[in-house]
C-alpha cells in the first residue's frame, strides 16, 4: 500500500480543517453507511491521526492536518528530485531499493512509515502527517573514508535547517541525535551500499518530531520533544523539507572536499555534552570520562585520567553521568 484509497483521501481532506463534521455528512460525501464511516475513521486513527467524536457534533481532527506537497517542496528547494508518498515501509528503504538509478540529491519523504527504522534495529514510530520522515541520497566517489564523520555533518545540516525555519536552541548528541533541553527531537540513520574500492552510496535518513499525537507518545521509551512544544509558530513540513534539501545540497559537496575540519567549531558550539562528565557504553560496558568533543574523523574524544582517547561509531552510546 502506498496511499490511502479514494474515500480515505476524501475523508482526510475534509477533516484537515480541524472542524467538526457530522457522521451523516461524511457518509453522504463518501457514499457509504454510518457504520462504514466509523470504519474509515478507525482506519485513519490506526495510522496515527488524532481524530475524535463528540455526540451531536460529529468527528474532528484534534489538530489541522497540513499535508506534504511535492510541488511546493520542489519550488522552495529548487530541486526537482523530490519524491513524496503517503505510505511507505521506510523512506530509507525506498531509496536503497533504487540506488542504481539515483542521482545525488534525490530525496524521499513520506506521510507515514509502516516500518520506519531507527538505529540499533529499533522501530521509528511514524504516525501519519505528524512528523518529518525524510531520506536523501548521496554518492561519495572517493569511497567509504568520508562516511565516519557523515552523521555529524548531517546533524549540523539539520540544526542549520531548523534554525533557518525559526527553531533555535537545538543541540547535538554524538554521534547522531538532535536534542533540546535533554529531550530527543530528531534522529539520523545513515545506511550504506559500498564496496571497499568503489564509490560509496549513502542514504541519509532523518526523522524529526513535529507534532506528537498523544497516543503515539505512549509508545516512546525515552524523553522526547517535538517542534510544536518548542516553538510558538507552527513549523511547515514542506518548508522544513525544502530547507533541509538545500542545506544538505550545499554542505555535502563541501564536506566531500574538506572532511569535517571546517565544521569542528560548529560541532563544539552545538555539542550538548562538551566538557561534561559522561558514561560511554561500549559493548555493554560503561566508561566514565569528560567529553572533549570530536576529532576530524568524527570520533568522540573522551578524557579519562588526564588522557584523551578517541572512540569511533558502532554500538557506542552516551549518557550524562549521574554524579
- Interface contacts to ligand BTN, rule CB under 6 A: 90-92, 113, 116-119, 122, 124, 133-135, 177, 187-189, 205-207
Nearest distance from residue 313's CB to ligand BTN, in Å?
13
Q: Establish how many alpha carbons lie within 13 A of residue 314's alpha carbon, considering only the half-sphere containing its beta carbon.
A: 10
Smallest gap, in angstroms, from Cβ of residue 271 to ligand BTN? 17
Give the nearest distance from C-beta 165 to ligand BTN in angstroms.
18
Of residues 72, 184, 211, 292, which has the active-site annotation? 184
CA distances from 255 to 156, 228, 265, 269 (A): 12, 31, 14, 18
Burial of 315 (0-12, 13-18, 19+ CB in 10 A): exposed
- The smaller minimum CB distance to ligand BTN, of residues 50 and 111, is found at 111
**Choice between 7 and 92, CB closer to ligand BTN:** 92
Instruction: Verify whether residue 319 is a known catalytic residue.
Output: yes
The reply to whether 119 belongs to the active site is yes
Alpha helix (H) residue ranges in 165-263: 214-217, 227-230, 237-258
Q: Which CB atom, from 119 or from 287, has the smaller least distance to ligand BTN? A: 119
Burial class (CB in 10 A: 0-12, 13-18, 19+), 32: middle
Beta bridge partners of 107: 82, 136
Q: Beta strand 171-173 with 277-282: parallel, antiparallel or unpaired?
A: unpaired
Minimum distance between the CB of residue 24 and ligand BTN, rounded to whole angstroms?
A: 39
Distance between CA atoms of residues 262 and 274, nearest Å: 18
Q: Give the residue nearest to ligand BTN (CB).
A: 187
* Residue 50 or 85 with smaller CB distance to ligand BTN: 85
Residue with smaller CB distance to ligand BTN, 121 or 306: 121
Of 306, 260, 308, 300, the closest CA to residue 281 belongs to 300
Q: What is the C-alpha separation between 10 and 16, in angstroms, rounded? A: 10
Active-site residue, selected from the candidate residues 25, 98, 119, 287: 119
CB of 237 to ligand BTN, least distance (A): 13
Shortest spacing between CB 27 and ligand BTN, in angstroms: 36
Residue 235 is classified by DSSP as: P
- Alpha-carbon span 261 to 215, nearest angstrom: 43
- Where does residue 275 rank: exposed (0-12), middle (13-18), buried (19+ CB within 10 A)? exposed
C-alpha cell at position 268: 563544539
Select 188 or 200, whichever has its Cβ closest to ligand BTN: 188
Positions marked active-site: 119, 184, 319
Amino acid at each position: 500500500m502506498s496511499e490511502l484509497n479514494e474515500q480515505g483521501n476524501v475523508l482526510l481532506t475534509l477533516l484537515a480543517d480541524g472542524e467538526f463534521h457530522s457522521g451523516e455528512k461524511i457518509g453522504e460525501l463518501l457514499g457509504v453507511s454510518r457504520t462504514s464511516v466509523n470504519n474509515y475513521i478507525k482506519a485513519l486513527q490506526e495510522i496515527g491521526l488524532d481524530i475524535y467524536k463528540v455526540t451531536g457534533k460529529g468527528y474532528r481532527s484534534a489538530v489541522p492536518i497540513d499535508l506534504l506537497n511535492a510541488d511546493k517542496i520542489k519550488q522552495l528547494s529548487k530541486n526537482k528530485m523530490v519524491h513524496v508518498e503517503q505510505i511507505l515501509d521506510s523512506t530509507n528503504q525506498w531509496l536503497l531499493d533504487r540506488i542504481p538509478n539515483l542521482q545525488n540529491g534525490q530525496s524521499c519523504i513520506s506521510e507515514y512509515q509502516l516500518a520506519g527504522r531507527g538505529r540499533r534495529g529499533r522501530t521509528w514510530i511514524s504516525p501519519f502527517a505528524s512528523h518529518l520522515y525524510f531520506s536523501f541520497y548521496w554518492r561519495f566517489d572517493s569511497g567509504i573514508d568520508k562516511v565516519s564523520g557523515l552523521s555529524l555533518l548531517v546533524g549540523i545540516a539539520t540544526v542549520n535547517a531548523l534554525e533557518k525555519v525559526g527553531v533555535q536552541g537545538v543541540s547535538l548528541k554524538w554521534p547522531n541525535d538532535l536534542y533540546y533541553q535533554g529531550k530527543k527531537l530528531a534522529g539520523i540513520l545513515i545506511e550504506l551500499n559500498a564496496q571497499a574500492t568503489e564509490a560509496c552510496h549513502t542514504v541519509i535518513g532523518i526523522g524529526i518530531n513535529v507534532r506528537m499525537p498523544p497516543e503515539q507518545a505512549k509508545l516512546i521509551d525515552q524523553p522526547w520533544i517535538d517542534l510544536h512544544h518548542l516553538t510558538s509558530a507552527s513549523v511547515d513540513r514542506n518548508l522544513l523539507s525544502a530547507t533541509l534539501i538545500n542545506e544538505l545540497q550545499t554542505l555535502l559537496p563541501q564536506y566531500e572536499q574538506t572532511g569535517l575540519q571546517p565544521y569542528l567549531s560548529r560541532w563544539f558550539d552545538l555539542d550538548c555534552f562538551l566538557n561534561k562528565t559522561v558514561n560511554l557504553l561500549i559493548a555493554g560496558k560503561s566508561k566514565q570520562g569528560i567529553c572533549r568533543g570530536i576529532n576530524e574523523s568524527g570520533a568522540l574524544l573522551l578524557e579519562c585520567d588526564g588522557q584523551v582517547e578517541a572512540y569511533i561509531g558502532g554500538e557506542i552510546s552516551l549518557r550524562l553521568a549521574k554524579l
